[in-house]
Amino acid sequence: MKKKFGFALLLAGFGGLLAFNSVTPLNPSKDKLLIELVAFVLNRGHFSPADIDDDFSENVFMNYLNGMDGRHHFFIQADIDNFRSYKHKLDDQIKAAKIDFFNQSFEKFMQRMTQVKGFFPALLEKPFDFTRQETYDFDYENQPFAASLSELKQVWRKYLKFNALGIYTGLKETETKKKEEDPSYTMKSDAALEQETREILQEDMRYFFEARDDLNRNDYFSIYVNAIALQFDPHTSYLAPSAKDRFDQNISGKFEGIGARLSKRNQEIEIVEVISGGPVWRGKIIEPGDKIQKVAQVNETPVDVVGMRLDDVIKLIKGPKGTQVFLTIKKVDGSIVEVPITRDVIELEEAFAKSTVIEKDQQRFGLINLPRFYVDFTDYGSRNAATDIKKELKKLKQAGVQGIVLDLRNNGGGSLQTVVDMAGYFIEDGPVVQVKSTGGQKQILKDKDPNIEWDGPLVILVNEFSASASEILAAAMQDYKRAVVLGSKQTFGKGTVQNLINLNQVITGNTYGDLGAVKVTTDKFYRINGGSTQLEGVKSDIVFPNRYAYIDTGEKDQDNPLPWDKITPAEYQTWSDGQQYNYAIKRSKERLGDHPFVQLIDQQAQWVKSRQEDTQYSLNYDRYTAKQAKTDSLSARFKELNDYVNGLQFSPLRADLSAIQKDSVSIEKRRRWEESLGKDIYVDEAINVLQDLQRLQKNTAPVASIK
């Protein structure tokens, strides 16, 4: 099983590309209906439908078990052996909308979890012997399931001991530091620290099982449905109603509610963060650490939420803009208050584009950070990535910048339309991306607006986690020779488009409540030069290594990716003859060729790769700490990278000052961002490239170096 990594995904929109006839429910069971609907949508709508045969069945079988118990901490080998009769029958079960396998495996999983909850406290009653020579292996994928329940107890004993060893080592280090700072301090004994370790771990495990208990049958059934969906490709998936809500929030960067993040611990719902600008923040009554005891709607009896599932509490609290909700709050000081809150649209500022002015050698440059290509699909005219980028470009032009860096690092994608609109800000007009849909129909998406928002030097920063929409924009600007792409050897390599199909709209006569949605791959996109970014990604003009350079992180390292291919190129003209473009790339490669920091980053990347492959840890204290010391010693070689300062000067745009200074949280977030940029070697080289591009325009001698 290959590693899986989560990313925001490129979407074409909610409708349009797929049309289904309404399906009338045939089965009395909601679970059976869901299997029927998902199979129907995938077979009719997927870009490259999978053959639902015995091989498909085996892959679903393995993926589902991995999703349920990937660490082999609950099932035993006898359970797996009993399940094997379904290994090559799930294709038939899917076609017949049967869920016998899920029912059997779910019941057994619940039984095993109850057994583990019953025996784990006893494992923490007896002191751990940290002098004993034994190891714990994190390579769960290649480990067998426990042969018996007694062997499963030993698996858990080692797992708990490994966690305990980390806690114990930390406590000992704290005691040692206290003694160093105050020689009169009496250090706690090893026995006392070991007992304290088990008490901490006991609380952690209670929290672990509390979170497990919060999951219901529907949550586990979603794992099964997704094991089916993911056989089509890595980005096709089933979204249960709660997951659909989170998806909408992530893709739009906003939601309707009270503006607070919640968590559950010891059966209580706690406020862990107040979102700046939201109703709770404006009310100045509720603060982090407060606990919600009851929730009431207007003219309704309050609902006691202690012990309730977190998702269910969130459903009670969220609601349309302008409506009221009443929270009974237990304050940190123990007092009880009822707080009326008027719900509003909450915008998560960290999800939106932001910019800064950079000064170097008495020149001004701009940097725009875009975390994702966000959009509200129900209202494209509202705030989205394209309109925000246009605003940032206008503000930077007014600030007199001479070049712009567009930072798409870690940007996993989002809306296709925003990419097309955004590309148009940097070119006169022309094709941006080619899209081939289910059935083979090809469409060229173009910028038809001859207006240009920014015609100056442009650098796009990418890394291995720049995916989908990020790759479309970077590829288009690269093909036009409009921007220099600087970053990892290649981007993520996701060249597919997904549509979100609301299952509630696929059927008639639904009496089962919200069925959720299916995110299904319906298209592949291609560069205007005809090549796909699928698997291959976008290869940077200037390759700058990072710590993830040797780790499997891309589309090619996921399960069931669609293949790479190419189509005929679109007709387009490059931005210029490429003289500036090629010269800036040449100059950068000369700077980076033998730069000590670049070599050190590459060495760090190789070291990170070796650590990832090291899955065994000793449960002996002396050996464990010796390995830690060796790791610390090796990592010290790379401490110089953490101390790097690029010497650039950063300042916010005048138009942004009021928003930044609205509260201490916003001020601190801005300070941390600019501090991180000041230690960013990639930003430094991006500015050097802009200087080269800008100097060549002025026909001046190029001089630039990384500080």
Range with the lowest mean pLDDT among 61-70, 175-184, 277-286?
277-286
Residue 387 within any structural domain of the chain: yes
Q: How many domains, the chain?
A: 3
Domain assignment of residue 207, yes or no: yes
Evaluate whether residue 20 is within a structural domain.
no
- Residues 259 and 339 reside in one and the same domain: yes
Give the end of a domain, one of 298, 323, 347. 347
Mean pLDDT rounded to a whole number for the chain: 89
Q: Which residue has the higher pLDDT, 8 or 684?
A: 684
Only one residue has tokens 């059976």, namely 32
Co-location of 75 and 183 in the same domain: yes
636 and 584 within one domain = yes
Residue 11: predicted pLDDT? 45
Same domain as 304, residue 186:
no
- When pLDDT is averaged across residues 510-523 and rounded to a whole number, the result is 90
Higher pLDDT, 530 or 381: 530
The partner residues of 364 in beta bridges, in order of sequence, read: 359
Residues 548 and 405 in one domain: yes
Q: Which backbone phi and psi does 523 adopt, to 5 degrees?
A: -150, 160
The Cβ of residue 576 has, within 10 Å, a number of other Cβ atoms equal to 11
Which among 439, 443, 390 is positioned nearest to 416, based on CA atoms?
443
Cα–Cα dist 98/480, whole Å: 52
Q: Provide DSSP, 557-596.
A: GSSSPPPP-B-PPPP---SS-SHHHHHHHHHHHHHHHT-H
Q: What percent of the chain has pLDDT over 90?
A: 66
pLDDT tens digits for 258-272? 999 898 887 889 998
- 72/197 same-domain check: yes
Q: Domain end: 183, 199, 231, which one?
A: 231
Q: Report d(CA 168, CA 157) in Å as an integer.
A: 16
| Residue 704 pLDDT > 90 | no
- Give tens-digit pLDDT for 585-619: 999 999 998 788 888 888 888 988 888 888 899 99
* Encoded tokens for 638: 């790379």
Residue 335: pLDDT band (50, 70, 90) is confident
Could you tell me which residues come within 8 angstroms of residue 560 by beta carbon, excluding any fewer than 6 positions away? 50, 59, 230, 231, 232, 233, 234
pLDDT at 284 > cutoff 80: yes
Q: Tokens at residue 22, please?
A: 């309404």
d(CA 306, CA 210): 13
- What local confidence, expressed as pLDDT, does residue 698 receive? 62
Backbone φ and ψ for 585, nearest 5 degrees, come out as -65, -45
pLDDT-based confidence at residue 20 (cuts at 50, 70, 90): very low
3-class secondary-structure state, position 500: strand
Note whether 271 and 214 are same-domain residues. no
Examine the pLDDT at 662 and tell me if it is beyond 90. Answer: no
For residues 369 and 341, membership in a common domain is answered with no
Is 56 part of any domain?
A: yes
| Model confidence band, residue 706 (pLDDT cutoffs 50, 70, 90) | very low
Q: How confident is the model at residue 681 (pLDDT cuts 50, 70, 90)?
A: very high
Do 573 and 428 touch, CB atoms closer than 8 A?
Answer: no
Residues 99, 93 contacting (CB under 8 angstroms):
yes
164 and 105, same domain (yes or no): yes
Q: Are residues 157 and 112 in the same domain?
A: yes
Structural domain boundaries enclosing 676? 351-430+451-493+536-556+572-698
Buried b (16+ CB within 10 A) or exposed e, 33-56: bbbbbbbbbbebbbbeebebeeeb
Average pLDDT over every residue of 233-248: 89
Residue 361 lies inside a defined structural domain of this protein? yes
Report if residue 377 sits inside a domain. Answer: yes
Predicted confidence (pLDDT) at residue 131 exceeds the cutoff of 90? yes
Given this model, what pLDDT does residue 328 score? 93
In a domain, 19, yes or no: no
pLDDT in tens, 33-53: 999 999 999 999 999 999 999
Q: Do 680 and 597 lie in a common domain?
A: yes
Residue where a domain stops, chosen among 347, 373, 395: 347
Q: Which residues contact 55 (CB under 8 A, 6 or more apart)?
A: none
Q: What count of other Cβ atoms lies within 10 Å of the Cβ of residue 108? A: 19
Strand order across the beta sheet in which 458-462 lies: 542-543, 484-487, 458-462, 404-407, 363-369, 354-360, 649-651
**pLDDT at residue number 503:** 92
How far, in Å, are 212, 417, 541, 690, 691 from residue 583 at the CA level?
Answer: 57, 33, 11, 11, 12
Can you tell me the distance from the alpha carbon of 615 to that of 3, in angstroms, rounded to the nearest whole number? 15
Per residue in 615-657, pLDDT (tens digit) is 899 999 999 999 888 888 877 888 888 888 999 999 999 999 9
CATH code for position 392: 3.90.226.10
Per-residue pLDDT tens for 446-458?
999 999 999 999 9
Rounded to an integer, the average pLDDT of 347-357 is 89
Instruction: Classify residue 562: in a domain, yes or no.
Output: no
Q: From 697, 429, 688, 464, select the one nearest 570 (Cα to Cα).
A: 429
pLDDT surpasses 60 at 410: yes
Share of the chain above pLDDT 70, in %: 94
CATH of the domain at 282: 2.30.42.10
Name the H helices within 239-321.
241-252, 279-283, 310-317
Does 663 score more than 90 pLDDT? no
Q: Do 173 and 290 belong together in one domain?
A: no
Q: Which residues are catalytic?
A: 468, 479, 494
Tens digits of per-residue pLDDT, 308-327? 888 889 989 999 999 999 99
